[in-house]
Amino acid sequence: MTMTDPIADLFTRIRNASEVGHRKTDSPHSNFREHVVELLVREGFIKEHRVTEVEGRKWLRLYLRYDEDGQPLIQHLKRVSKPGRRVYHDARSLPRVRRGLGVGIYTTNMGILSDRECRDKRVGGECLGQVW
């Protein structure tokens, strides 16, 4: 069985795990997913990630972050560009997510970057999603 939108699946797994208070969640491994997760680690929304192997298949194990009150740091995780409708922004028109409090996730010719990194490097790309 093939998956139509693996990034939406990743976001849904993270969103569901954080809503019920799980400390970790697993997702099937791909290099693209791993780069998206590395961006979330860089931005501080996920504690860490590891690549594990179960029955010959690779999995990403994500360790979620919570504040001192036990509330998840990821309050909202939204898929913007979808297989049926791609959303692109050039370097001059990158929107700010929650007036700079959130992070936009972009795929560019320089790799997977946050909206802040895109502004610094002056590149645009496809908006994969937003998180705050």
pLDDT in tens, 12-62: 999 999 999 999 999 999 999 999 999 999 999 999 999 999 999 999 999
- Go through the chain and tell me how many residues it has: 132
Coil/strand/helix, residue 128: strand
Q: What are phi and psi of 96, to 5 degrees?
A: -90, 135
Q: What is the pTM of this model?
A: 0.94
Taking phi first (over 0 means left), then psi (-120 to 50 degrees means alpha), and beta for anything else, what does residue 89 get?
Answer: beta
Give the number of other Cβ atoms within 10 Å of residue 52's Cβ.
12
**Whether residue 3 has pLDDT greater than 80:** no
**Whether residue 106 has pLDDT greater than 90:** yes
CA–CA distances in Å: residue 112 to residues 40, 67, 73, 103: 10, 26, 21, 12
CA angle, 41 then 12 then 130, to 5°: 55
Rounded distance, CA 71 to CA 21, Å? Answer: 8
Q: What is the pLDDT of residue 79?
A: 98
Q: What are phi and psi of 57, to 5 degrees?
A: -115, 140
Q: Are strands 57-64 and 111-114 parallel, antiparallel or unpaired?
A: unpaired
